[in-house]
Amino acid sequence: METTNDMKKLDHKTLTKSFHRWFWGALTCFSQEHMQTFGYMASMLPILRKLYPKHDDQVKAIQAYTAFFNTNPMLGTVIVGVTASMEQARANGKEIDGETINDMRAGLMGPIAGIGDSLIDGTLIPILLGISLGMSTGGSPVGAIFYIVAWVLMAYFGQRFLYFRGYRFGDQAVSFLVGKQGAAVRHAIGIVGSMVVGGVLASWVNVTTSLKLRGADGKVFLNLQDKLNSIYPGLLTVLVTLFCWWLMAKKHVSAIWTMLLLVVVSLVGVLVGFFNPGLSY
């Protein structure tokens, strides 16, 4: 058995350095073919230098990280932390090889990408942006500044927490995310996300019609927008959104073609008098 003096242990400074390399460089050398692979290798360099004094051992160790890697870079920080702890165990002669490390990385990057995209991009950011947009109405810079401060603090300290949690607990750190409890948490977050997105749509988007039917005496006898509002406020907005969803999700039309189709819809609508933004110089 090795004595504690011989045990190699990563110090706080090395771990912080590795974390910073991931925080700033996860995507700097991005390509469609290797995606975040180089960001990952660059983050592991400080760890390998610390654990393996001999240069040859460092070269040998980095081979494990040449495998393809891509995940949600924010939540994925936890994976980098886990590998730091696994690499430390490997350097101390535990029965861990490059393949074990890679199996862990490959097994986690899919679920973490899915959870991260729905949790961060799908829920947290729409809420944060929705609040910030409200504060910036009327051209005030307050909302933009609030977003910068709130998001950067959350992203930096959140990722830092995830990195060190990953290092301390190994893959136990994320086990709750992939089990039964994880499914329940994801569904619960999904509800928040859906409701917030509905709220964002209602607060910020307003598709209206200008269609008015006049009688022979010039009096308006049908104001379609008023009628629609009395049925369900925001009906047209919801319908246009569901139409776009149906095109993209059910008909597999790309976002760009969907936008082009909206151009056609708008043109026809303007020609028949259904839409009129009512502007002039």
Q: Which of 244, 264, 263 shows the shortest CA–CA distance to 254?
A: 244
Copy the structure tokens of residue 161: 């927490």
* CB closer to other proteins, 224 vs 262: 262
Are 196 and 130 within 8 A, CB to CB?
Answer: yes
Which lies closer to other proteins via its Cβ, residue 7 or residue 239?
Answer: 239
Which residue's CB is nearer to other proteins, number 89 or number 189? 189
Instruction: Give the nearer residue to other proteins in terms of CB position, either 14 or 241.
Output: 241
Q: Which residues pair with 214 in a beta bridge?
A: 220
> Nearest-CA neighbor of 87 among 120, 41, 48?
48
With tokens 């959870």, the residue in question is 115
Would you give the DSSP letter of residue 86? H
d(CA 64, CA 58): 11
Q: For residues 95 and 45, is the Cβ–Cβ distance under 8 A?
A: no
Q: How far is the CB of 137 from other proteins (least distance, A)?
A: 7
- Cβ proximity to other proteins, 12 vs 252, nearer residue: 252
Question: What's the rounded Cα separation, in Å, for the pair 148 and 143?
Answer: 9
* Minimum distance of other proteins from residue 121's CB (angstroms): 5
Q: Shortest gap between Cβ of 279 and other proteins (angstroms)?
A: 4
Find the shortest distance in angstroms from Cβ 264 to other proteins. 9
* Smallest gap from residue 209 Cβ to other proteins (A): 10
Q: Which residues contact 231 (CB under 8 A, 6 or more apart)?
A: none
